[in-house]
Structure 1
Amino acid sequence: MDELASVDGTIGPAAQMTIPVTDEGLLRGDGVFEVARLYAGRPFAWDEHVERLQRSAANLRLEFDLEAALAEVDALLAKVGPVDGAIRLVITRGGRRVAVVSPLPERQRAVALGTVRYAPTRVLDAVKSLSYAANMLASRLAREAGADEALLVSPHGRVLEAPTSAFFFVLDGRLHTPPLADHVLDSITRRHVLELTGATARVLHEDLLGELEEAFLASTTREVQPVSSIDGRPLPAVPGPQTTEAADALRHRIAAQLRLT
């Protein structure tokens, strides 16, 4: 699938679309974005993504034309047709509205995680901003250490999340995820998994990582992806029964809401 993009309503090949080099979304990462997965050209939980985009923009004191942005997304989706992929909507400080439809990244059946120290930026709580350099660096550091992806751990040893995914874990037979109070992103997929599985928010210290029975990452593009190991220690079950249950429940909800056959 070729990437198509819309910039302020003009649609064309993504590689050829441009924004001004003076836009502070580019120069300073000052802006907000959302990514939704497309199933046959239809975005799952789009209303929830739009609501979070509005909250993020409000928290950054970033005004934009929501009606125009949504109309441009609709026009882009009509252009690309019933594809499976992802739609990204970006709002920049310079006033640009950018929408991009792209293929899904290739994913392994299970992912090996490596812990990386990370201090969340408190002022960006509840903001899905363009300032993702720290997250991307964490992923590179984990890969340099031989893992597939990073597992972010606070300077005080609290397990947080992956750079672009929520983290779920099974301990003492129960499914948990780190609490929002630890400054993790209020992930939309995280919300759905919590609702579907009855998982609870629980603080997890890195000292307990070796005791986990199973774990998985959850995100818009990953859905539910089992974790095979953490810092080189294999997990007992990959995927474990609760991971499989969560994955099946999420897929069923997506199919039901989008009426997929």
Structure 2
Amino acid sequence: MSAQLPDLPCYLNGEFTTLPNAKVSVMDRGFIFGDGIYEVVPAYNGRPFRFDEHLARLERSLKELRIPNPMTKAQWRELVVELLNRYAASQGKPAAETTQMVYLQISRGVAMRDHAMIPGLEPTVFAMSNRLYIYTPEERAKGAACITADDFRWKKAHIKSTSLAGAVVSRQMSADVGALETIMFRDGFLSEASSSNVWVVKGGKVLGVPKDNLVLEGIRFGLLETLCRDAGVPFELRRISREEVLAADEILLSSATKEVMAVSMLDGRPVGNGRPGPIYEKLYAGYQRAKQAS
């Protein structure tokens, strides 16, 4: 039984259509191999948030997979703004009154099945916008429950690839027990969660993992560093052992959809006092100011 798609606007290979009418060849390498990349850009009050940083990461991922960028920066921005406006119109609102999440995907294109990177293909470009869920104050006050697991994914996690079977499996592990995220470790050291970056707070300092091939450098990496500096909170990127994570005063998640989220329970045990802590409160407040200033 297939799910019925909502009649929302989207973009596919130069044309605007709706989700039920958007069709891609079964021989598209994105479908056959997951041979493509994606980005998710949040937009508050009709304004894309940290768009330049998202586009820079999109470009880095394309280069890693040797897929030519099919658009200029100006064309990407024009597409995103048009999608924001079209989605808002479908909801009977101006874009300035909506909070949205724009999804961009580029695959290598259509060809007969061959594992090798076939040169000269026309990339497939798909984009859509949808409502961005905003966690309620009650949900934020409670904090998130998470579990831990070994990081069994590939070692090219810095590419925002559409090959997401590993992330799907790891996220389902937490969904199976009613938790929000699965926090993963590789060789005893923190890597990231299934769809979030992870931050550890100890002694008033925010610790994050190094920017390397084992984690996806979230757009909030740079933002969290800025927010820490503005709040007078020490910030450091280094390898973080599993023991340090389990003994943390606070654990935070960051992503386009979660913004900054406190972890209150890990593997069924409270983190700190089991409630969002003071560093979370400072960074979340700073995040909201950054959104307003964007």
Out of 7-16 and 211-220, give the one that drifted further: 7-16
Tell me how far 1:116 sits from its aligned partner: 1.3
Tell me how far 1:25 sits from its aligned partner: 0.6
2 CA distance for matches of 1:182 and 1:99? Answer: 26
2 CA distance for matches of 1:2 and 1:102? Answer: 11
* Equivalent residue number for residue 108 of structure 2: 93
Instruction: Indicate conservation of the 8 Å contact 1:6/1:98, yes or no.
Output: yes
* Equivalent residue number for residue 79 of structure 1: 86
* Equivalent residue number for residue 288 of structure 2: 251
2:248 partner letter: L
Out of 15-24 and 55-64, give the one that drifted further: 15-24
Aligned length: 255
Runs of 5+ consecutive residues of structure 1 not aligned to the other structure: none
Tell me how far 1:145 sits from its aligned partner: 4.1
2 CA distance for matches of 1:140 and 1:86? Answer: 22
| Identity among equivalent pairs (%) | 28
1:151 to 166, 177, 183: 183
Out of 9-18 and 94-103, give the one that drifted further: 9-18
* TM-score (normalizing by structure 1): 0.90
Superposed CA deviations along residues 202-243 of structure 1, whole A, max 9, x for unmatched, are 322112333111111011111111101111111124210001
Aligned-pair Cα RMSD in Å: 2.0
* Equivalent residue number for residue 17 of structure 1: 22
Instruction: Indicate conservation of the 8 Å contact 1:216/1:224, yes or no.
Output: yes
Superposed CA deviations along residues 173-218 of structure 1, whole A, max 9, x for unmatched, are 3111122247211111121011220421132211233311111101
SS at match of 1:63: coil
Larger radius of gyration: 2
SS at match of 1:66: coil
How does 1:144-223 map onto structure 2 within 5 Å?
A: 144-154=176-186, 156-181=187-212, 183-198=214-229, 199-223=235-259
* TM-score (normalizing by structure 2): 0.81
2:292 partner letter: A
Superposed CA deviations along residues 99-138 of structure 1, whole A, max 9, x for unmatched, are 110122464422111011114523x253111111101110
The alignment status of 1:121 with 2:157, answered yes or no, reads no
1 CA distance for matches of 2:66 and 2:154? Answer: 17
2 CA distance for matches of 1:116 and 1:233? Answer: 15
Superposed CA deviations along residues 27-81 of structure 1, whole A, max 9, x for unmatched, are 1111011101111221101111111111110110001321354443333223234
2 CA distance for matches of 1:182 and 1:80? Answer: 35
1 CA distance for matches of 2:131 and 2:241? Answer: 36
1:143 partner letter: A
* Equivalent residue number for residue 58 of structure 1: 63
Instruction: Indicate conservation of the 8 Å contact 1:160/1:182, yes or no.
Output: no
2 CA distance for matches of 1:248 and 1:101? Answer: 26
SS at match of 1:129: coil
Tell me how far 1:245 sits from its aligned partner: 0.5
